[in-house]
Structure 1
Amino acid sequence: RFVRPSDGRAQVQLELKGENTCTEAELSICTSSSVSAFKSWSALSCSQRAKVLLRLSGALVQHGQCLCELCDLSHAPCSAPSLIRLVQYYSSWAQLRDSLMPQWTPLGVVAVVLSDDCSFYSLMVKVLPALAMGNSVIVIPGRSTAPAALLFAQLFMGVGPPAGVLNVLTGNDITLGARVAQSESINYMSYSGNKQCASVVCRATAGVGVPVSVSVTVGSICPFVIFETADVDSAVDAVIEAAFKKNKEVRWQLFVQDSVVDSVVARLQLRLTSMKCVSVCADADRLQVDAAVQEAQQQGATLLQSCTAPPSGLQYPPTVLCGVAPSSPCVVTPPPGPLLPLMTFRSNAEAVTLGNHSPHGQAASIWTEDLTLALETAKSLSVGVVWVNSHSVSDPCLPLSGHKDSGTCTDGGQLLLQSYKDRTALNRGPRTPYSRSTPHRIPRGTRSNAFSRSTKHMWTGKACKSESGCSVAVRPPGGGGVLAYCPDGGRKDVRNAVEAALKVQPGWMKKSPSARAQTLYALAKGLESKRRDLAVSINSQTGVSMEEAEKEVELSVSRLNEWAAFCHQVQGGGPLPQSGSALSLPEPLGVIGMLLPDRKPLLSTLTVLGAAVATGNAVVMVPSQSYPLPILTFIQVLQSSDLPAGLVNIITGNKDQLTAALANHSVIKAIWYWGSAQGCQYLQHTCTSPLKTLSLFCQKETEGPEGGLDWTRSEPTFMEELWRKAVQWKSVWIPTA
């Protein structure tokens, strides 16, 4: 039901923007209502939940036009057919959940947060899969989507779900989402919108113990590439529609091959003459557009406009800036308005370089009649979606994964459903928001135990001296004598290791799955040849019996063989209901930083190492600070293996200092962390610019080497979950007549 704010506060809705505010008491009522509804909703059978969603699709058929008109008035456009298709797709997954996803457990209460400038479709692509999997949802919409979200909630409650399954809280600040996340009832938060608000949400929720996924769908810079083999007329029509008529969330940049640039410019000028001025959202946006145009002209750019720009107001003509440089401000930080920078290139490699110049990686459009050229370019672009001879096409059955600064989660398809699965392995830790004044914050390591004796790390495939020249003593569990001296690494060691990993990772990624599998099989064989030395190191370091140590080595060999076999299990997408075909391709993240657990030091290390290397990543690993000796012994196996030098890099030392160094390195794409709750909070607060994919596991100090996650299990769901953490997805659309 609709609830009026207790104190009657509200904001006037100008152009259907603005919303009521929410008090703490009302927030508490909302979360308790969601918890009660979750018990009823999750208790329903898959068939019953599917029937509710199918009735919702029928309601959208009847009232979808009204909902979409409201979206248009709110400047959050969305089409009724796309919404109906979305509901029908996830109602099918609701029906098949238990048969295709056995042992599935829903998370509980999911919070979905949007920025003010996000589209209504971006909201629904997160809400519907959460509902289909049996979760209850609290929606915190942005200013543009608030009216449509309230109307959708009314339609949804009219089809008969338990009361409280879907809740909408409106507020005038993005931090309302962080206030919701601090509730003990929230189990997961998903954000969609612009990068600035994403950073605010991530920092505000650091330490509250709730996993947060981010989709930066607003403000991303996307390349539109026209090759000389393209149908120029179709390409120009498409770029006009994409840049000035259709999707206002992304900002397009046009790249044209030198040989056809004159033809493209002539056609652009012809089509612009028939276009009217486009509205901008605010006076500040208009000022930014004027400043960008003037600066581009001063730098030698040529303007193509449909008409002369009015001296003031919120109307501006569609404008193409020809001849701008890739370093121009209108290219690097384009303003929110109807501006399209046009740049030229000579070869395919140059086009890829220009397309990957942006810090964003959401989508790209390629225009060519040469299919081989299209697929080669699509594979080389670091984006989540590539449209071939088309643009802005979407379907819920294909994954949309944000690359680089475009997010840390995958929307669409079965992969999105995995986000709403119960994370039993994740220890959420205490719900204490991160504070820089906390006495346990990172970094606070000291070198009080350091020895002035030089030891060596491993990167570039060989032993290298630690930059500090210091080491720390490794002692047995009960104390006593020194087993070995472990290098005490620091920030400079991390930089060296990342540079080595960055050089070798692109070549490793291009190897075939079969070649990567053979390398891992050889690594497992080398590990087996050193099984006695490794077992002795585990026995002396952790204190377990020799029999238990030998069993861990045996399981480690088996785990590497499993990952070698897993290399061949490449999953992809299939045909779509509309004309054309599409592929969904898993790609490696790049360089992954790993801070490894204490339990089963060898087995846990090879489990996560196998997942990363099998999928084409390079790694910088920090072994357990308490039990590093087995990994130092494993270095001998790595040095004699066929792995490319620099693919696996190992740095030992103070975990807090090395965590800070990895978190602040811009090249690291993801961090897998086993450590303290304070370390988890620090990473959530720090890894927002650029965005990093985080997998955080709170390791209790009382667990010791035998507590926490059970690394001996090897069921498919556990392996697949690790595999999903190591990849990002790219969808390639290929239309046919």
Structure 2
Amino acid sequence: MEEGPSPGGAAPAEEWLETHGRALGHFVAGTWLKPPGRGTLQCREAATGRLLATVPRGEETDLAAAVEAAATAATRWGGLGGPRRAQHLQRLAVVLERGAAGVGAVAALSGGRPLSQTLGSDLELGLRLLRAPAGWAQLGPPGLGDWGPLGVVAVVTSGPCSVAALLWKLGALLAMGNAAVVLSPPEVALVPLLVAELSGEGGALPPGVLNVVTGTPGLRRALRAHPRVAAVTFLGLRQEEVQDAVWGSPWQGPRLGVTRGGRVVVIVLESADLDSAAAAIVGSVGTPPALFPWGGCVVLAQEGVATPLERRLRDRLGGLRVGDPLNPGTDVGPLPPTAAPPEGLAQAAREEGAEVFQPPVTLPPGGPFYPPTLLTGVAPASRCLREPAPVLVLLPVRSPGEAVTVTSGLPHVAAGAVWAQDVTLALDTADRLPLGLVWVNALDPLDPTGGGAGAGASLEALREFGRPPWDPPRDVGNRPGTLLELSPEPVPGGPAAAPDIAAAVEAARRVALGWGRLSGAARARVLREAAAALGGAGTAGPPQKDGGDDDDGGDDDDGGDDEDGRLRGALLRWAAHVELMGGAVQEVPGGRALVMRRPLGVVGVAWSGPRPLRRALELLPPALALGNGLVVVAPPSGVGPALRLRQVLVAAGLPGGALTVLPGGAENHGATLARHRPDGLWLCGGGTDPDWASVGSVAHVWVPGGILGGPGQEPPPGAEQELELRCTRPRCLCLPAGGP
């Protein structure tokens, strides 16, 4: 007996398209903009290729109109205050709920996700991701009370773009008082255009706060001509697309938001309930979680359960129904727009000796459908482990520790899950994973943090789109006219050669895990002993200057004793801080979440003149106290003080590789550090100014600016909390209410 169509089905989407004559425009300043003489681009149904509508081929003048409208609206919107903005965002959520049938149908038609998902968990998650920052705007986000908006934020979309992912970005940036310009290619343009139109109903958002411009991917390059664009964030882009789109640098030009997304890694340990694990894994293969746009799943199973788990996975994959996303019985829809079929990846796996299992399912004719695929026996360096794709990869591991190591080495991992009935082992394994979101005995497509994969809690997303009081507006007028590209070879220019930096990063990576897993009390003991030793050293000889008559800038006249006093104070403050750190338990639908902060891992610190370095040394104690490894490249005037600090820390018990100081002085060391993929990169001093194309692959790039205060000044309010957040990443362990 066949199931009939879903109530409503595609009708709401078709009716909306017909009201516009299937010829949409840009949405700018609260109205449709259809400039004369523009070419058109086609929006097609994902499952059949049927023409749904046309949109304009946007040009630079269209983008300029949208940026101007957003800049005008941003002034008023940012001045409303958090509670007023919260009311608007809550009103938008109500409007989207009322229009859920149309939003879900448009998303299913154009994106290919089953209607049961776009009308269900996708929209539910999206509304939660919209309401969470609205709630913080109403209350005043803790630690962000003095923060202001950035201004105009460009949201560059590509590839799969779910309703939830779009609302995740928009909720945070709008709550902080920014206005948005969404750049969308035709494959994913319909959902942003519908959301923008609905945002004008009932005064949900003022005109100009949300604008959408359609065009080819090349239009994103025109953003560089608009100095009023204060930040650019990405949605659904692969890393190579981001590299092609960025310009400027962390010091000049817009702030760059890191693209997030990827696949899920599931670790199945020997005590796991294999039936529930297999059901959840296959469910994620059929319909990837909405915030992980490129899908795919890597399963790391302990050797004792790998074979029985494989049997269960094969059986369940054979039960998946591939077909029309509008059919309520469909488990797997067509491939997302712009996604390449994974046949090449599967063939490469075969050639490498892997076994490719595809159940005998019937695929609809003519559409971009691909059967559920399981790859086993893959080589550790296989392409299928390096590239995310809508396939399932099963890899045996010997132990939980090996599973953590393998996960740490996989690129493009957005979230994880651990299955084990031994709860102690499950929690320990989950806590060791370098991921922001980890489920325990569950794999729920609804992110309980309200923030999104890799972004952590919603406060983390708000910080991405806010300006702290110590960070002056960027100089966005000085924009290069050509793309800045990463040079494939290191550029010589200082005593610290690339091999030295590579060895230091590797050494820091080896020791950072152990140092970060020590208790806060153990790390605090090291810092206190170093502070005591530094105090004794500070009184043993004449004051030490940072550089005598060099060109450091000489912003203060304090000598070595005052310098030592500041460092001692920083060491003691952060020793106390790390001892008192804790997490929180958050109630979420279906269970609870443990929310905490964990070390970034390895942080590269690039210093250069002419800015002074005395206060910059105070950045090192919090990074070390919170469990990170550091690789510091300093100019000649800063090497001595940094080495002296390292000496007393190592004598107090800091592992040697946890802090390496290298002589630098060249402007290219930020890019050289980035080439070795540290977990964070701090750029201190105006001379260290690599372009975004050189450092954009690092997830956490930071310019400290005035966070430590100026000469003779104390750090501004909120600086200590900001330092803690810059030294750590959010971690959310999601626990189901019932058993596995």
TM-score under structure 1 length normalisation: 0.82
Q: Residue 559 of structure 1 is aligned with which of 563, 570, 575?
A: 570
Residues in 1 aligned to 2:409 and 2:626: alpha-carbon distance in whole angstroms: 24
416-425 or 652-661, which deviates more: 652-661
Give the aligned partner of residue 246 of structure 2: 202
Within the candidate set 269, 276, 296, 1:251 is matched to 296
Partner of 1:735: 736
Q: Spell out, residue by residue over 1:45-95, the C-alpha distance to the aligned partner (whole angstroms, 9 max, x if none).
A: 333222212221221221122111111111164433223323322221121
Please say if residues 345 and 384 of structure 2, whose CA atoms lie closer than 8 Å, have aligned partners that are also in contact.
Answer: no
> Match for residue 582 of structure 1?
593
2:621 — aligned with what? 610
* Matching of residue 418 in structure 1 with residue 429 in structure 2: no
Partner of 1:43: 79
1:338-388 CA deviation, whole Å, 9 max, x = no partner? x32223234322333343341223111222222112112112222221111
Q: What is the distance in 2 between the residues matched to 1:153 and 1:545?
A: 52
Deviation (angstroms), 1:435: 5.8
Is residue 380 of structure 2 the alignment partner of residue 326 of structure 1? yes
Q: C-alpha offsets along residues 135-164 of structure 1, whole Å, 9 cap, x if unaligned?
A: 212122344431111111111122323321
**What is the deviation of 1:734?**
0.7
Contact 1:182 1:205 (C-alpha < 8 Å) held by counterparts: no
Counterpart Cα distance in 1 of 2:231 and 2:555: 37
1:656 is aligned to: 667
Moved more, 527-536 or 579-588: 527-536
Q: Of 98, 103, 107, which aligns to 1:62?
A: 98
Q: Which amino acid aligns with 1:215?
A: T
Partners of 2:160 and 2:337 within 8 A in 1: no
CA distance in 2, matches of 1:649, 1:327: 30
Contact between 1:107 and 1:188, CA under 8 Å: does it hold in 2? yes
Q: Which residue of 1 aligns with 2:679?
A: 669
Distance 1:71 1:204, change over 3 A: farther
How many angstroms apart in 1 are the aligned matches of 2:352 and 2:106?
42
Query: C-alpha separation between the residues in 2 aligned to 1:568 and 1:711?
Result: 29
Equivalents in 1 of 2:137, 2:547: separation in Å?
48
What does the per-residue CA deviation read over 1:465-506, in whole Å, with 9 as the maximum and x for residues that have no partner? xxxxxxxxxxxxxxxxxxxxxxx4333332343333233222
SS at match of 2:33: coil
- Give deviations 1:252-307, integer Å, cap 9, x for gaps: 12233333344333333433443334554499977641662585277252625134
- Equivalent position SS for 2:714: coil
Distance change in 2, residues 1:553/1:126 (3 Å): same
Alignment-mate amino acid for residue 497 of structure 2: G
Alpha-carbon distance between aligned partners in 1 of 2:557 and 2:461, rounded to the nearest angstrom: 43
* Alignment CA distance shift 1:179-1:420 (3 Å): same
- The 5-angstrom pairing of residues 456-471 of structure 1 reads none
Q: Which residue of 2 aligns with 1:685?
A: 693
Deviations 1:311-342 (A, max 9, x none): 986333323234333333334436x44x3222
Counterpart position of 1:513: 520
Question: Structure 1 residue 622 and structure 2 residue 622: aligned?
Answer: no
For the residues of structure 1 that align with 2:359 and 2:499, how far apart are their CA atoms? 51
SS in 1 for 2:587: coil
SS in 1 for 2:396: strand
Q: Structure 1: which 5+ runs fail to align?
A: 403-409, 448-487, 700-706
Query: Aligned-pair distance for 1:23?
Result: 2.1
Contact 1:224 1:365 in 2 (8 A): yes
* d(CA) in 2 for partners of 1:331, 1:545: 52
Residue 535 of structure 2 aligns to a residue in which SS?
A: helix
Alpha-carbon distance in 1 for matches of 2:466, 2:336: 41
- Please say if residues 616 and 684 of structure 2, whose CA atoms lie closer than 8 Å, have aligned partners that are also in contact: no
Selected match of 2:308 from 242, 245, 263: 263
Range 654-663 or range 584-593, more displaced: 654-663
Q: Is the 8 A contact 1:398 1:731 kept in 2?
A: no
Instruction: Quote how far apart the aligned CAs of 1:529 are.
Output: 1.9
Distance in 2 between residues matched to 1:126 and 1:714, nearest whole Å: 31
> Given the superposition, is the C-alpha separation of residues 68 and 596 from structure 1 closer, same or farther in structure 2, using an over 3 Å criterion?
same
Flag the 1:303–1:494 CA change in 2: closer, same or farther, 3 A: closer
CA separation of 1:100/1:595 partners in 2, compared to 1, >3 Å: closer, same or farther?
A: closer
1:89 aligns with 2:100: no
For residue 82 of structure 1, give the secondary structure of its aligned residue in structure 2: helix
Q: Secondary structure, in 3 states, of the residue corresponding to 1:536?
A: coil
Map of 2:168 onto structure 1: 125
Give how far 1:549 is off.
5.6
Q: Which deviates more, 273-282 or 233-242? A: 273-282
Aligned residue type for 1:327: A
Q: Read off the aligned partner of 1:90 and give its amino acid letter.
A: P
Residues of 2 paired with 1:49 and 1:96: CA distance?
11
Which SS does the other structure have where 1:316 is aligned? coil
Structure 1 residue 432 displacement after superposition = 2.4
* Counterpart position of 1:490: 497
Residue 208 of structure 2 aligns to which amino acid in structure 1?
Answer: G
2:135 aligned partner, one-letter code: S
The answer to whether the Cα contact below 8 Å between 2:683 and 2:703 also exists between their aligned partners in 1 is: yes
> What RMSD, in angstroms, separates the aligned Cα atoms of the two structures?
3.5
In the alignment, structure 2 segments of 5+ residues that lack a partner are 1-30, 46-51, 323-331
Residue 535 of structure 1 pairs with residue 536 of structure 2: no
Q: Which whole-Å CA distance do the structure 2 matches of 1:520 and 1:305 have between them?
A: 58
- Contact 2:430–2:733 (8 Å) recurs in 1: yes
Per the alignment, residue 4 of structure 2 pairs with: none
Q: Does 1:362 align with 2:405?
A: no
Query: 1:178–1:204: 8 Å Cα contact kept in structure 2?
Result: no
Report the counterpart of residue 428 of structure 1 in structure 2.
474
Give the residue type in structure 1 aligned to 2:714: R
Indicate how the Cα distance of structure 1 residues 519 and 142 shifts in structure 2: closer, same or farther if over 3 A, else same.
farther
SS of the equivalent of 2:446 reads coil
**Residue in 2 aligned with 1:501?**
508
Query: Which one of the candidate residues 252, 255, 271 is aligned to 1:229?
Result: 271
Distance 1:388 1:238 in 2: 12
- Structure 2 CA distance for partners of 1:629 and 1:208, relative to 1, 3 Å: closer
Letter in 1 for 2:40: A
Residue in 2 aligned with 1:166?
Answer: 210
Q: Could you report, residue by residue, the CA deviation over 1:533-589 in whole angstroms, capped at 9, with x for unpaired residues?
A: 473324845768866664443233222222222213535343233121111232222
CA contact (8 A) 2:303 2:396 kept: yes
Q: Which amino acid aligns with 1:71?
A: A
**Residue type matched to 1:558 in 2?**
G
Q: TM-score, structure 2 length as denominator?
A: 0.82
Change (3 A) 1:435 1:149: closer
Moved more, 295-304 or 150-159: 295-304
Paired with 1:441 and 1:260, the residues of 2 have a C-alpha distance of 43
Secondary structure in structure 2 of the residue aligned to 1:366:
strand
Indicate how the Cα distance of structure 1 residues 599 and 643 shifts in structure 2: closer, same or farther if over 3 A, else same. farther
**Matched position secondary structure for 2:180:** strand
Q: Is the 8 A contact 1:112 1:138 kept in 2?
A: yes
- SS of the residue aligned with 2:300? strand
Counterpart of 2:431, as a letter, is K
Tell me the CA shift for residue 239 of structure 1: 1.6
Work out whether 1:7 is the aligned partner of 2:52: no
Indicate which of 62, 66, 74 corresponds to 2:110: 74
Superposed CA deviations along residues 509-537 of structure 1, whole A, max 9, x for unmatched, are: 11111111121122222222233547332
Q: 1:261, 1:169 → 2: CA distance?
A: 48
With over 3 angstroms needed to count, the CA separation of the structure-2 counterparts of 1:272 and 1:17, relative to structure 1, is farther
CA distance 1:419–1:661, change in 2 (3 Å): closer
Q: What is the CA–CA distance in structure 1 between the aligned matches of 2:280 and 2:244, rounded to whole Å?
A: 35
Cα deviation code 1:685-719 (max 9, x no counterpart): 2124x4342113689xxxxxxx9955842345112
- CA distance in structure 2 between the aligned counterparts of 1:713 and 1:316, rounded to whole angstroms: 60
SS of the aligned residue for 2:588 comes to coil
